[in-house]
Structures are given as C-alpha cells and as structure tokens.
Structure 1
C-alpha cells in the first residue's frame, strides 16, 4: 500500500510548542514516487533528503521485517544555509540517541558537526528499526541496529553531493573530495553542501557506497557532548508533558482501584462545580475496565475536579491479588518441577558433599520515569493526530487506528521528547495511548471538537500498572569437596511478559518466555537444569530496564560468589575458572574492572569490603567492582568501578552516562521501600514517599572504563543495571556473613 507524504503542517505538529530537537520534522513516509519526492522537498525549503531501510539482523527481524529497500526519503535534510538535520527514528528519553545517531551520519557525510541538528521522526514505514521490523525504541538496540544504516545514509549523501559538484565542474567524481561540509575539486574549486543539495537531490542514488575504515574515524569514538544538552540544562527543552496545540483541553482520568474494574455509578456534581471543568464523562480504560474522565481548561482544574468525584467501583468477578499470599504461592510452586528451559544431568546433586539451597524474592517494580505518561489526541472524522513520547510508534499507530475506527494511513503519530521511560512507553497494548483516544472519542461524542491532552499524575503512574513482574527463584546447588559445582537445579516462578502479546511467536518457545530466563547460566560452564512456571495474575506486567536480567543477574552472581566462598577461592578467580576461554569479552570486562579498581591490591579502610559481579545483557558485558560498608545495619555503597565491553564505543560520553544512570537505578532496587505491593487487588504505593527510588546522596563514586574494540557496537541502555545489586550484595555478605536473598535488601 502506498503511503502518502506526511503533510508538513497538519501531520508534523505546526502550532505545537516545540524546540529544535524536540518534535517530528517534515519527513516522508515510505514508497513515495520520485516525482512526489522531488515535489515534497520544496515544502521544506529545498535541500537533500535521503534515507532507506536495511532489513533483518536478528530473529525478530527475520520474522517481521520487510525485505524491500526503500526509495530515498526522510532521514537527512541539508538546508541552503548548510544546516544538516537528521531524523532520529527512535524515542529520545535520556539515552542520547539524538546525538549518537547523527554522529554516525556526520562521520560518513564528512560535514561540519557544529551545523548538525536532530529531530524526532514521526511514525512511518521508512523509520522502522532495521532489525526489529517496526519503529520502536527498546532492547538497547538503537546503535546496534542502526550503526550501518545511518553510516550508509551519510556515505550515500556524500557521494551524491560529490556527483553534483563534479557535474557542475565537468570533472570526474574521483577528482573531488570533501571536508567539513564542503566539496573540494580540482584547482581549488569549492562548493558547500547547502549550495549543492538541490542538485544532488535530483541525481540517482549510487548502487553501492564504501564506508570508512574505522581507523579513519574523526567523530565516531570521540567523546561528544549531546546536541540537546543546552536545551535541557536551561529548561528550554519541550517534553511531551509540556506540549500544547491550539484549542487543547486537558483531561485527567479516575481509573479503577483494581485492574479491570468498572464504574458502577458516579456523582459528578462537585467536580462540575470546579471552575474550569468542562465535562465529566465515563470512558473505557485498560484491561476491559472503565473510568471517569474530567476534562477542563487546564491540568489543575481537571485534577481538582477528579478529586471531587464520588465513584462506586464494580470489581466483582476480578482476581484481587495480595502480595503476601502471592509470595507464599510462588514459593510453594518453586519447589515443584516446571517447564524445562535448560536440560542438564543433575544426578550428582543428592550425594554432593556441599550444598546451597536458596529461595530468592523479587517484588513488582514501577518504572517511575521523571515525566509521567501523557498524550495529546486531535480526533477528526477522517483523521487522528497524536503527540506522545512513545517507544512503540508502529504498534501505537495501529492501535490508534483500531480504536478510532480509522485506517493506519489516517493516523499521524508525532514523537515527542520524553523524560524517561525504562520500558513503560513501549506497551504491547498501547494502554495509555488507547486510553487517550478513548477520551477523545467520548469528548467528540459530547459534541466537542478540540484536541484533548490526557495527563497522568505521579500517583496515577505508580498505581497504573505494567510493572516488572514479581518473581521467585529457587536454587539447589551441589558442590564437591573442592568447591566445584557438580549439579544445579533451578526453578523460576513469574508472570510471563510475552505470552499473549504479538511478541510471543519469537520470544516464547515450548511455553518458556525467554525474557524470564535470560541471563541464567552463561558465561559459566555449569551443569544447570532450569525450569519455569508461568503464573497468571490480575496485574499487568511489562519489561523494565534490562528485563529478566533484573533478577537473573542477582541470583546468578550472588550464588557464584557464595560458591567461591565455600570453595575458599577468590571470587574473581572462581568466575574466571568457570568462564574458561569461551567468553573473551566477559574476561576482558572483568579484568579491566579489577585492574582499574585496585581489587586485591589496594588496602580498604576498616569496615569496608569489595564486591564483584559480572553480567551480559543485550549483547554487552558489564563487570562491577564495588566498595561498600555496613554500619549499624545500614549499607553504604562507596564506589563502583565498571569494566564495559560493548564493542565499538560510538560516543564514550553517552556510554559513561548510561552506566552512571544504570548504577543509580540498580542501587534503587536495593533500598527498603523499593517495591510495589498489592492488598486485595489494590496497589499500596502512591508516590515517591512510599515507593522509594535512589537519590543524589545515594550516588557512589563511579569510574567507567570501556574495553577498546573495533567490532560493530552492541547495546548500552540496559546492560549497566543488572550487575550492580549483586556486586553490592556480595560486598555486604563479606561484611555481615549473611547472604542476601531478596530485593530490596533485607538485612534483619
């Protein structure tokens, strides 16, 4: 199906309060004709627009990604003033893609970096992730998947600019070169990219381009400040929650206290009496429930009106989870055989002279990004335009169309800058997006035509579901007299994130959700039998930064550490023995962290101890060596030395920032109060006073060291989180003699 050019004004947010790096630019959808492409370029003031799609990189791509190569369109715009605008086909929510992706194009384009800008691309076929086959941000895949794609875009643009200059000068392209946004020809001829862009656009794309040898990189690999740093540090950056469109009203939804609950009856008298409140309407909510929306002239009257509502909720027939009962049931189930995920002979377990038996507990976790969820919807009879900070443009666009009764081609999704997400903005059900469209529908049914912005409060966000699943592990490990592991029987009990979603086909095999078991076993050579129990519960669950590794890394790295203690062996040496020579990246990361920390050589102050952990997630390896203390039962993390192996580091500053942020977020999972609990189906936590996150005073001293590599980069958004908690726990075990079996820490 041919998708038409996205209208510059209507589709890309003209009239929306914005900043240069915030919103969707005027870019094209896929499958446009050359004539239409050339005509469209005039709408944005001339210049070169270029982009294409590179299919398939992994199993998800093999299942879903289109195999076509797209005609030139919308990744790159070179303006007459030499400004270069790069379309970022992701969500920028703090991870730095608004800088790192343009760096890839700039490297091959050979342009002036000071003139490079970035804009978030709208939902469109051409902007789909080359590996995932859908437009999304997740799985730490941005750089890993678009590394070649964005470099080829830059190289192709450079070749076309050279061809345009050569044509004007009537010389062979081979006699031309480029530097800092200028084509240089024989006899000192020069032409800027801005002057050549219109002519270059009319030339055919080269069938093949040669990418730079990494040894010749000038931008990639160099610490590069973020393009959006000034806007964010001065308060000028517009996030989704800041955005406004003409005539917009603000809506706040009262949602049922139990997931899937419905409105029995409600009294809106007091709410309607609040100045600025325009309407109080019943609206469908997530999981088949219903709620009451208050629509007003602004957020405060909408919230005040909601607070004044009197609602009788119908929760009959719904499962009402209580965390204490759920934990007991999980622990009982963990002692029974489940679906086998990893097969192994554990016949030596019963007779092993030394044993470890351990039960681990992990609670539900809220994502709690600094910016709560929000979404603007402008619903018309034949079109719907949405502004949202979404990780799932493709999924959400389809969900909007389905909910609004429109075709996908009638839906425009403008990607907004977001203040964090950690997975919560990428939901298979598109819950907060669909709900906002439902609000627009009831508003329209009431005879209103203005756009509506749904805003979640912090309390809405924490109580609103889609948590990291509560999980229980049970491990039975047999060791011989030398402390070597001879058998390992392991069971995981949890809700599946993937079962029942569109991702089940590739993520679930023989009933085993791979996100539940990722991180178990490797890189260690272990005789491990692993089984799982998929539990259903009336609590919506979702990936949370580093997904299954949030719990598997803690279990693996604390148990390996405990086994080393039983063996009377240094924990680093014990790990290296189990790794052997089959995982050189793990060894390199571990060795780097150990060497830079002074582990085993530096003398620590009295009352402090070392802790070590190592974990791979999303194809990157992170090793931590930490120093911690324990005073009157209060743990303190003093320092973290990181060894990171993510192959080629495109922007070392971004990697350092990702690791720093992951360390603080991982530390947060250890704090008392870092848990979502339920009683009779109702979430007990409301805000940061009772759902604790790590704060600035908790931040340890951090040193990040990256293993040098020229191999294609792997992901870094999530890998820094998993090893932090186990490294901290291992240090505390050395101080207290007690092995910690749950998160958050229980030191009683």
Structure 2
C-alpha cells in the first residue's frame, strides 16, 4: 500500500488547541494526514495528552465493529485496549465509503471487518511510525531502536508516553509504506480475552442509543400509516386528539404516505395518533391475503421458470432425472418475516445554525438518507450532517433502498416551521405492521439418485418476491433479469452437484421487501441442506459423510469440509445420548464457512427440546474471538427462533401481527446450550454478523427429522406445521 506524502503533513498550528494527530486512508488506499486542503477519511485521532480515538466508519448495533476496528488500530500502534476509545465517523461517502459497496457509506452484508481490515491496520501503523520518528529526533537516536508498547515509546535507554511526541509528530511527513506487524507480533488481534469496548456503558445504562436522545425543545412525531401497503392519506380530523394533554398538531406528509402527529412526549404522541381520524385512498393499496400470496408462489413453482439462472440445460437435467433409480421431491414455503430489532426505528432531525440540517440516527446506510435529505430540503450535501449513534439491533431493517424512516422524519420536520427539533418514534406495533419484510419464497426441488445413491440430477425451482428490483440497487444486483439475492446460496452452492438446473420466477410484491439477516441464504440454505439430508437418507449413508463426498475440488470445498468435520467432532456426531437425535447443516455465506450440529430430545408430536447446538466457523483471521462467538450465538438464535414460531401474515393486505405476543422472539430457554469453535486461519477476515443464521434452521429441521421418523418440515414456521416444542 503506497502512502501519498507529497501534499499532506501533520496538522500545523496545533499549539493553539493542543496537537492532534489525524491519520486516515483514502478510498484508493493512500494515507492522509489531517490538515490537507482536500478531505480524506481519518481513522485515527491522537490528542496531545496521548488519548487515541478510533474513528469507526460502521454503525454499531451489536455486531462489534466499534471493538474490532479499534483493536486493529490499537494493535498496530502498540496500545492496550483500555488505552483506545472510539467515535463514529460523519456521513461522507467520498471519505468513509464501504469498499465493498463502491461509492456508498454503510454497514451490511457482514462487510465491516472485511472491507476495513487493511485500512485500519495501515492507519495505525502509520501513526506508530510517525510517533517513533518524532521520538527518535527528540532523543537523537535511530528510530529502528524504538518501539511502542502499552502506549509507551521506549528503546536506546529512553522511555516516555506517546503523548509527549504528538506535537513533534505533527511536523513530520506521513510514511509512504508503514510496516504492518507480522501476525507473530499480535497481542490483541486473535486474543480470546479481549472484551467489547461498549459492554460497560451498555451494562450501566450510560450508552446513548438513538432512542435515548432528547434535544431541548424537541417535538415527538409519530406517523399514522395506512394498514395496507400503497394507501394514501387524503385528509384527517384531529378534534379528538386536541383533548390529549401535550398534543401540538397534525399534518399530512407531503408524499401522502401518512399523517404526522406531533406532541410534547412520546406517550402523548401515541395517544393523539390513536385519536386522529384519517381519510384514506385505498384504490391502489394491496388487498391480497397470505393464502393468495402463497398460492401464487406455489403456482409459479409448478410453471416453467422465467429465468434459467445458471444457463444450464434444463432438458438434460430432466433426462437425468427420468433415468434415475430414485427421485426425491420436496416443495418448500417460507413466509414473510419481520426484522423486529429490540430498539424500534427512530431518529431526530434539527436545523443547524448555519442553515443546514442535522440528523441523529443509528444510521446503517448514511449515503441514502444523506442524499434524500439534500433533495427534500434543497440543500447541498455539505449542509446535511448525519450524527451516527448506537442502535439497538437492525438485522437489515435500518438500511432501506428508499431511506424510509429518515425520509418520514425529514418530511415531518419540513412541514413545521423548523424552529423545534422533531424526534420520529416508531412503536413496536409500527415496526411489525408497517415495516419492511423478508420476502415470501417457495422452492420446488427434484433430486435424482443412481443405484449407489449418488446424485445424478438436481432440478431446483425458486419463486418469490425480489428485494432488489425496482430499487436503486437493481442495476448492480440484477443480472440478465435475475436478482442474485433470490438465489444466492443455491445456484452458487459449493457442493459439486452434477446435472444441476436452477430456475427463478419473480412474483408480485405484497409488502415492502428488504434484506433480512443473511438475505437469500435464509431460505436457500434451508432447502439445500434439507435436500442433502434427504439424499443422504435415500442413499443409506451418513449425512456428514455424504456431504463431505460433494465437497471436493477447491478452496471453498476445503474450508467447508474443515468446519463440517470440526463441528461433527466437537458435537460427538453419531454418539448422541439415548433419547437424543442430531441434525447437521453446513453453508457458506458472506465469505465465511459455518457448520452446525443441533441435538434435540423428544419428538415433533410430544415436543422437541433443543439440547445443544455445536457450531464451527471459519471466518479467516479471527480478530476478536469473543465477538465472533457472540455473533455466532446471536445468529443461531435469530435463525432458530424465527423458524420455530414466527411469520407475518396478511388479511386483505393488512398485517395481522401486532407485537411480541403474536410475533414471539427467541426465549432464553429455547436453546439449552451453544458451543462455538473458531477455525484458526491466516486468511483475510470475513463476515460474522450473518453467517451463523443460515445453517441453524436446516440443522434443527434435520434433527427433528432424525427424532421423528423422517418428518420433513417443508413449510414454516415449524409450530404451525406439525412440530411442537417443549
């Protein structure tokens, strides 16, 4: 990585305010020191008192980038973890873009560590070398004799805290190619004893989430939305709302998508909103119910697919199936699902003294709302500021192609006189009934086996509601008519399957669809792994050994083999206690490889209890093992909890579910134990926020099949389709 030093030096004139060292990496990989006439994305800030702050370009909603990216900087500089703090970067896509997203700043796709690993290490290494160079000049010694350990520069008989050299370092050029530490030198990266930087503030309640923000003189706004997608507000009567103490006003949003109700407090806004009567135009609204949507998807599976995903020979696959000794067939249906993060959506918007707009938000994809607010308020981008705060979960919901809730807040603010900040608050009911959903999907699969049980043909039809079509991401994510997020994890399976055909048909969207934790892998992994289990049973072979026989020929296959063998070993595969049964699944998503073994007791009829889940993950170099284990546990729980009992249903286009009593999240007693094992690796780090989710549900399904006489749960959720849970 080359460092550009021709135009950048350390911040001059620091004496007036205290020397501050700002180091960053440009999108092209070059380092930049603050003070340059152009703006570059700074990742490291060092104050004259020695305080080091990592500037984190990814939102923290529980997945760990605040700790992970700080670890990289602390490692390269030579700090303890208690010697580094973090702050969130401002919205500026030119400076803080996600390298996996191109020109967009944002968090998602389990890319935070993968796209930032080299950037943050290089920034930390540059800071280390600059500080050492300053100390070497001050002491009149060779810089090669000096090092930094626990924030102290020492060597050549000298020693001092690094803060003593910040002012001197501010006069030196940035190094062209700072030396990155060899893995043998790591003290923090890969250390299982490193704990999260944000645990203490979240534990004692001092952490400031977006919902916690309360600006002076703010109003709280809640939106009354139509029950059916596509309804428009044409007028309202707020006479009853005027009786609510704290009620201020109501206004139809400029896009007619709802009525904003303003009050002094959240409770008053809730009460007033309930009291407002709205006139709706439902002529273009969704009117279908869930059974109609399912029927449409199942009909699409029975028809010829619209798209030949892999451009394979469909007739040849059919001929192979016709000649097979045994054909296994199964149709699957996956319902709509809500994201349901613990913190419902919210954000706060205010005018700034210089005529701009500031948005306070647990913002997952800042570029979208930044552009939207610029258009709504007819202001240049530099007049829009987004202050990123902690968010209480997301699972994809806080990043939408149309910046839905941030646009709501902007419109609600725009129709006021803008003298008071407006805090938009969604209730839990709003989130479940008016949000965005994992789309409904169906799969129909036929697998042909020969006399020895080997796969000779695989015909796989997929039908469902596209996430990307009709959005700003269509051009990037849709190729030859195929939305890759509809088929990922199936059409690109690492299994070496002969005679495979994959077809796709899009069906009409009944709701606003959105990526949901692990996106298309949420349903494709289930189908692939249940079908592989059925094939193993049809072949009369062990499910683990059967899968291993199709994982040969390349790096993907080798790494999947590694996690599968490790999970099986650690789970005691084939040696479950009496009365227990095991199921297995293995899947690659977001660059990571995960295998899981679920051990259950009981039966589908009498009640299944999940006794233990054993997970093996290969995510490249494990930067923070404690965070990785937590993310695997969380991803497993998220996947298991939703297939056990959750679905979103529609009646006449309106969502039926209201709150957690009828959309019940995972309970702590649902899984007795989770055991996570991380594969040692020197490969580049890959994602951990989502890859734990895809194998969880099929591993459970396969364990239930083993415990219940080969019951294959092909429609979800499980408790609505023949499975009771103890």
TM-score of the two chains, using structure 2 as the length reference? 0.93
What per-residue deviation string (whole Å, max 9, x for no partner) do you get for residues 647-670 of structure 1? 110010001000111111111122
Structure 1 residues 210, 69: CA separation in 2 closer, same or farther (over 3 Å shift)?
farther
How far apart, in 1, do the equivalents of 2:138 and 2:80 lie?
22
Residue equivalent to 2:562:
588
Residue equivalent to 2:131:
161
- Could you say what secondary structure the match of 1:164 adopts? helix
Residue equivalent to 1:60:
none
Residue equivalent to 1:637:
610
2:209 to 236, 239, 254: 239
For residue 116 of structure 1, report the CA deviation from its aligned partner: 0.8
Residue equivalent to 1:189:
158
1:290 to 226, 234, 257: 257
Is 1:688 the equivalent of 2:654? Answer: no
Residue equivalent to 2:269:
302
Residue equivalent to 1:84:
52
- Could you say what secondary structure the match of 2:416 adopts? helix
Residue equivalent to 2:361:
388
Is 1:313 the equivalent of 2:280? Answer: yes
Give the 5 Å matches for 1:216-365: 216-223=185-192, 224-284=194-254, 289-338=256-305, 339-342=307-310, 343-344=312-313, 345-346=316-317, 347-365=319-337
Is 1:402 the equivalent of 2:375? Answer: yes
Contact 2:231–2:284 (CA under 8 A) maintained in structure 1 = no
- Could you say what secondary structure the match of 1:697 adopts? coil
For residue 694 of structure 1, report the CA deviation from its aligned partner: 0.9
Residue equivalent to 1:415:
388
Residue equivalent to 1:19:
none
- Could you say what secondary structure the match of 1:253 adopts? strand
How far apart, in 1, do the equivalents of 2:287 and 2:692 lie?
35
Residue equivalent to 1:489:
459
Contact 1:86–1:118 (CA under 8 A) maintained in structure 2 = yes
How far apart, in 2, do the equivalents of 1:465 and 1:297 lie?
25
How far apart, in 2, do the equivalents of 1:289 and 1:736 lie?
52
How far apart, in 2, do the equivalents of 1:514 and 1:589 lie?
25
Is 1:646 the equivalent of 2:619? Answer: yes
For residue 294 of structure 1, report the CA deviation from its aligned partner: 1.3
Is 1:479 the equivalent of 2:425? Answer: no
Residue equivalent to 1:120:
88
Structure 1 residues 375, 678: CA separation in 2 closer, same or farther (over 3 Å shift)?
same
Contact 1:53–1:69 (CA under 8 A) maintained in structure 2 = no
Q: Which moves more between the two structures, 639-648 or 498-507?
A: 498-507
In structure 1, runs of 5+ residues without a counterpart are: 1-30, 57-67
For residue 170 of structure 1, report the CA deviation from its aligned partner: 2.9
For residue 200 of structure 1, report the CA deviation from its aligned partner: 1.2
Give the 5 Å matches for 1:368-387: 368-379=340-351, 382-387=355-360
1:198 to 140, 159, 167: 167
Is 1:656 the equivalent of 2:625? Answer: no
Structure 1 residues 158, 294: CA separation in 2 closer, same or farther (over 3 Å shift)?
same
Is 1:552 the equivalent of 2:527? Answer: no
Contact 2:10–2:22 (CA under 8 A) maintained in structure 1 = no
Is 1:211 the equivalent of 2:180? Answer: yes
How far apart, in 2, do the equivalents of 1:72 and 1:402 lie?
25
Contact 2:113–2:686 (CA under 8 A) maintained in structure 1 = yes
What per-residue deviation string (whole Å, max 9, x for no partner) do you get for residues 533-559 of structure 1? 122224100100000000000000000
How far apart, in 2, do the equivalents of 1:555 and 1:577 lie?
19
- Could you say what secondary structure the match of 1:114 adopts? helix
Give the 5 Å matches for 1:703-718: 703-718=675-690
What per-residue deviation string (whole Å, max 9, x for no partner) do you get for residues 610-652 of structure 1? 1000011001011011101234442221101111111110010
How far apart, in 1, do the equivalents of 2:6 and 2:18 lie?
19
- Could you say what secondary structure the match of 2:135 adopts? helix
For residue 236 of structure 1, report the CA deviation from its aligned partner: 1.5
How far apart, in 2, do the equivalents of 1:617 and 1:209 lie?
33
Give the 5 Å matches for 1:493-512: 493-512=463-482
How far apart, in 2, do the equivalents of 1:701 and 1:184 lie?
47
How far apart, in 2, do the equivalents of 1:592 and 1:139 lie?
25
For residue 244 of structure 1, report the CA deviation from its aligned partner: 1.7
Residue equivalent to 2:536:
564
Q: Which moves more between the two structures, 694-703 or 544-553?
A: 694-703
Structure 1 residues 232, 165: CA separation in 2 closer, same or farther (over 3 Å shift)?
same
Structure 1 residues 649, 471: CA separation in 2 closer, same or farther (over 3 Å shift)?
same
Structure 1 residues 336, 280: CA separation in 2 closer, same or farther (over 3 Å shift)?
same
In structure 2, runs of 5+ residues without a counterpart are: 30-35
How far apart, in 2, do the equivalents of 1:44 and 1:259 lie?
54
1:130 to 78, 90, 99: 99
How far apart, in 2, do the equivalents of 1:96 and 1:73 lie?
21
Contact 2:629–2:676 (CA under 8 A) maintained in structure 1 = yes
Is 1:450 the equivalent of 2:428? Answer: no
For residue 266 of structure 1, report the CA deviation from its aligned partner: 1.6
Residue equivalent to 1:470:
440
For residue 113 of structure 1, report the CA deviation from its aligned partner: 2.4
How far apart, in 1, do the equivalents of 2:507 and 2:27 lie?
38
How far apart, in 1, do the equivalents of 2:625 and 2:348 lie?
35
Q: Which moves more between the two structures, 344-353 or 325-334?
A: 344-353
Residue equivalent to 1:675:
647
Contact 2:9–2:174 (CA under 8 A) maintained in structure 1 = no
For residue 122 of structure 1, report the CA deviation from its aligned partner: 1.6
Contact 1:472–1:494 (CA under 8 A) maintained in structure 2 = yes
Report the RMSD for the aligned CA atoms in angstroms: 2.1
Is 1:540 the equivalent of 2:509? Answer: no
For residue 217 of structure 1, report the CA deviation from its aligned partner: 0.8
For residue 319 of structure 1, report the CA deviation from its aligned partner: 3.2
How far apart, in 2, do the equivalents of 1:219 and 1:407 lie?
42
For residue 38 of structure 1, report the CA deviation from its aligned partner: 4.1
Structure 1 residues 333, 477: CA separation in 2 closer, same or farther (over 3 Å shift)?
same
Residue equivalent to 1:22:
none
How far apart, in 2, do the equivalents of 1:54 and 1:159 lie?
21
Contact 1:256–1:289 (CA under 8 A) maintained in structure 2 = no
Structure 1 residues 262, 603: CA separation in 2 closer, same or farther (over 3 Å shift)?
closer
Contact 1:283–1:291 (CA under 8 A) maintained in structure 2 = yes
Give the 5 Å matches for 1:31-70: 38=12, 45-55=18-28
How far apart, in 1, do the equivalents of 2:37 and 2:457 lie?
50
1:747 to 710, 722, 725: 722
How far apart, in 2, do the equivalents of 1:289 and 1:620 lie?
43
